[in-house]
């Protein structure tokens, strides 16, 4: 290897370490199928839910790619979709990953919990991050395509009772803003960690939000009443403030108070619409890597003839760029 190549390799590894240190995540979609139809779902940019998705990556590819990320020292892999529990061989796939010291998180809506609670606990899974966007059945049916929020909350408790660490994720928008307090109090009452974020725009459709972007800062008084406010930390995706309650942690990510821009963002036509900044590397089962949901021109198909490790390093390095140029930009997205 030439000296120039070695220097390039060292630079990519340094950028990978920066990505890790700032909470960068590798989101790997193992299916494009889902049992819900949330209007805001980005489906890891694989196309609209319900559309046919060519599953380019085999189970062995998925495992090898995750293994390569873990071998690099990546801190977290999020297995997502679609709804990953809709995949029949999910437990076997998860157990096959050589995750080393990497946290393996399963992103799910939780409704198909029997796929995991009817078998011994899958020890490879560190956390199940379950979406709980509303406790209003009307909103659940109209905007998410579900039926019963009671079934959803029982599914969440069943996963925890089976031995899984369960955390909750809530995306805030005009459709559910009026009913957020019951969700927060339910999570708090059951000792479940909860993270609240604003909807992340996955496309440039003018009416994506079904209204105007909702600033989550209005929830701070409620969180102050439930826990002790801690520091605000800066990480990929935005600034996050934490509240510590007696039995749980409540987090609020307000991208209006700062979303990370790097060299990757230079010349982006979606700068004013961006609701996330540089956050994580996404990979669909379609074999396409997406460093950013909005910048479709920067999507790239993984090449099975090349090292997974090298491709991951190239992608993450492009996202981080020269970090001396990085900045947190404030202001509400459009």
pLDDT digits (tens, 9 = 90+) for 74-86: 999 999 999 999 9
| Domains delineated in the chain | 3-213+258-329 (3.20.20.70)
Q: Give mean pLDDT, residues 83-100.
A: 98
Q: How far apart are CA 165 and CA 252, in angstroms?
A: 20
- Confidence (pLDDT) at 8: 55
Task: Encode pLDDT of 310-325 as tens digits.
Answer: 999 999 999 999 999 9
Predicted model pTM:
0.95
Q: How far apart are CA 110 and CA 114, in angstroms?
A: 9
Kind plus residue range of the DSSP H or E element containing 315: helix 308-320
Determine the straight-line distance between the first and last CA of the chain, rounded to whole angstroms.
47
Report CA-CA distances (Å) from 221 to 177, 217, 252, 254, 332. Answer: 15, 9, 12, 14, 20
Return phi, psi of residue 139, to 5°: -65, -40
């Amino acid at each position: 290897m030439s000296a120039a190549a070695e220097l390039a390799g060292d630079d990519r590894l340094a950028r990978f370490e920066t990505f890790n240190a700032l909470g960068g995540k590798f989101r790997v979609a193992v299916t494009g199928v889902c049992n819900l139809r949330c209007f805001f779902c980005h489906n890891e940019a694989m196309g609209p839910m319900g559309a046919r998705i060519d599953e380019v990556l085999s189970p062995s590819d998925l495992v090898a790619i995750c293994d390569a990320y873990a071998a690099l020292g990546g801190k977290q892999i999020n297995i997502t979709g679609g709804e990953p529990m809709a995949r029949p061989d999910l437990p076997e796939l998860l157990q096959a990953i050589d995750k080393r010291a990497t946290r393996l998180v399963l992103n799910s809506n939780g409704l198909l919990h029997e796929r995991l609670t009817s078998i011994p606990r899958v020890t490879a899974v560190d956390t199940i991050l379950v979406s709980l966007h509303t406790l209003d059945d009307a909103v659940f049916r109209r905007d998410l395509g579900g039926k019963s929020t009671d079934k959803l909350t029982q599914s969440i408790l069943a996963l925890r009772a089976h031995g899984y660490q369960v955390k909750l994720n809530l995306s805030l928008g005009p459709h559910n803003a009026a009913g957020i307090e019951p969700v927060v109090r339910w999570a708090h009452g059951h000792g479940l960690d909860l993270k609240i974020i604003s909807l992340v725009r996955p496309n440039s459709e003018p009416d994506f939000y079904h209204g105007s972007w909702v600033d989550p800062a209005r929830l701070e008084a409620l969180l102050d009443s439930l826990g002790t406010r801690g520091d605000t930390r800066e990480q990929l995706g935005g600034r996050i403030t934490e509240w510590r309650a007696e039995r749980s942690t409540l987090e609020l990510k307000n991208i209006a108070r700062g979303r990370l821009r790097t060299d990757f963002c230079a010349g982006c036509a979606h700068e004013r619409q961006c609701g996330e900044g540089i956050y994580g590397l996404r990979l669909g089962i379609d074999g396409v890597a997406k460093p950013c949901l909005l910048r479709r021109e920067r999507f790239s198909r993984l090449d099975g003839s090349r090292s997974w490790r090298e491709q991951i390093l190239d992608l993450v390095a492009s996202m981080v760029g020269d970090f001396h140029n990085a900045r947190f930009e404030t202001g509400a997205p459009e």
